[in-house]
Amino acid sequence: MTPAVGKDTMHQNPPPLTTTTVTVAYAGGDERRGPVTMGQANMIRCILRDDPTHINIHDVWPVPEGTTSAAVTDALRALTVRHEGLRTTFPHPPGAAPVGQVVTAEGTFTVTVLDHAELPGDPAEYAESVARAARAGRFDLDREFPVRITLLTVAGQPAYVALAFSHAVADGSAMAILREEFAELLAGKELPELTSLPPVDLAAVEASPAGLRKSEASLRYWERILRTGPQEMFAEPRGRRPGTDEEARQLTLRSRRGGQALAGAARRTGHPEATVLMAAWCALVAHRAGQDSCVTAVPSANRFHARVARSVTTTSQDALLHLDVRVPAFDALVSRTWGAVLNAYRHSQFDSVRLWEMIDRVTAERGSHFGRDVVFNDVSALPAPLLGTEMQNGGDAEQELTWGPPQALPTRMLAFTYRTTPQLHISLWAAPSVFTPEEAEGFLSGLVLLLEAAAAGDVPMEALAEVTGIRPAERGPDWLRVDGCWVSPDAVRETLGRAVGGLPVHVAEEPGPYGSAAGVADTDGTAGEASGAEPHLTAYIACGETPLAPEEAHRALTALIPAAGSGVLAPHRYVIIGNPPTEPDRSDAWRRLNTIDEGTGRSRQV
């Protein structure tokens, strides 16, 4: 769902007349235990790490006029008994992440009732602000009921239920299911039998031989991209290491032109709008970054099978899209995107603990760093009310760009697509270390220009700058393409020098058989970056009093890479030499010195 970046209007409105707390008891479910699901483990990792206002999610449920407070609490009780996820906690010892879940058969939850003479301001916006405010504060996974519930009433008459959910038990799709069933219960309808799996049963399916094979396939898919793709999209002199938090302001595009152009491009190419929009996004990200491919995280609901389609749990995990943009024209890229996206989604179900163990291992071997550098989250298929009033409201302008508040994000570029019709509605958070405000505005405006051109006809990829006005990043002549990545040898030398305690270091570009095995494009559009014509880097390190082994130098460097500046990738080869030359800038002088040891800490396996 959307990051918590909207303003909190509660503090701008008068307080309610009364605030009371109602305790609601429930019973009738089954008590169960089991391991956590892959989706739960993934979100719990974020819950324990991230700001709760960013990771918790919220929703607002309108209450039909004439509904009593008792009917509201009865419906909430029925949903709690019906869905095991709402009765789930995650016991774990201090300092450890939960590995199991416990479903209670009976218990209680509380409803905070805010009674007003009238709801202040726009009632829907006020309810939204109450729900958003409840996202603050980390959920206690051990024992807290995973939903914070506030009932807004007017002279005792229910008007809205504002809810904040732990992302360990619900995602956007789960909230939509609960909202729908809540409305049906208040309307007196009987809910159908559950056909999708509750979390404990889903965990058992994931632990089955077929589930484990799917997870293993996903890990292999991710590993191939991490070994062969660019380690960071925006590797450029002014960039910062991905994963280094910086504040980025929200920039929102609302464009009827964009919505019409996207629909026209989809009709002309014969592909879904979501595919065309993804192709345009990847084309412009790669173009702006000066890369041959686009690597972007695409959060996936993972609800492709009937057994989880209506499960009230969290199934969200990242799909990692690696799209080779080396095609003559945009239509070919759209066709390639279709297969690449499907392949990414197929490989978005995995053991998140093992995934991060693999990421740590592979990046240490390669001497790289993985961060969610670019994230594209298309939530336009969600029901409109689920997106909140801020996402639904907007002017009727042909095109407008508006700036919102800043938010600290561990990414370079984050986009949420809320709507594609009648307006294209996208919010973008672009790191100011990479994008000036004018460049961020130009990127979204350029996206609309590309869609308009694609609606009219096929667009040559070499014409992207002319069509969109977006220029590729400028790098100095010292930047090299090494192992599929843009690398600054000067930045590598400076970082390696710090890693080895200030010993003299020289980093040279050299030909040779080093680097990742790569260069084979898959039919789905992913590809390893061709390394046959690329150089490799050799680092010459003065021995000092106690000579380092090449493996020690590599480990020391990789420990600094996550916090280093942009463009730092480990050399393929380390040569430990005697005293450094008197003219340290001459590569041949370093090569002529006595070699004490040499080797590589990198792995060339794919």
pLDDT tens sequence across 384-415? 544 444 444 555 678 999 998 888 777 889 99
Q: Over the stretch 202-228, which tens digit does the pLDDT of each residue have? A: 999 999 999 999 999 999 999 999 999
Q: What is the pLDDT of residue 594?
A: 80
Q: Are 508 and 590 in contact (CB under 8 A)?
A: yes
Q: Give the pLDDT band of residue 582 (cuts 50, 70, 90).
A: low
Q: Over the stretch 150-184, which tens digit does the pLDDT of each residue have? A: 999 999 999 999 999 999 999 988 998 999 999 99
Give the residue-averaged pLDDT of 454-463.
98
- Which CATH number, 3.30.559.10, 1.20.272.10, 3.50.50.60, 2.30.30.90, labels domain 9-195? 3.30.559.10
Q: What is the pLDDT of residue 383?
A: 54
Residue 198: which of 27, 29, 317 has the closest Cα?
29
Residue 327: which of 225, 458, 447, 217 has the closest Cα?
458
Average pLDDT, the chain: 87
Range 480-599 classified under CATH 3.30.300.30: yes
- Does position 325 have pLDDT exceeding 80, yes or no? yes
- Architecture category of domain 208-468 in CATH: 2-Layer Sandwich (3.30)
Q: Are 289 and 233 in contact (CB under 8 A)?
A: yes
Q: What is the pLDDT of residue 217?
A: 96
159 three-class SS = strand
Could you tell me the CA-to-CA distances from 364 to 112, 179, 452, 527 in Å, in that order? 49, 45, 43, 22
Q: What is the pLDDT of residue 353?
A: 84
Give the residue-averaged pLDDT of 247-261.
94
Domain with CATH 3.30.559.30 in the chain: 208-468
Residue 234: which of 360, 414, 401 has the closest Cα?
414
Lowest model confidence (mean pLDDT) among 268-272, 354-358, 436-440, 450-454: 354-358
Give the residue-averaged pLDDT of 468-481.
91
Q: Over the stretch 36-46, which tens digit does the pLDDT of each residue have? A: 999 999 899 88
d(CA 548, CA 504): 13
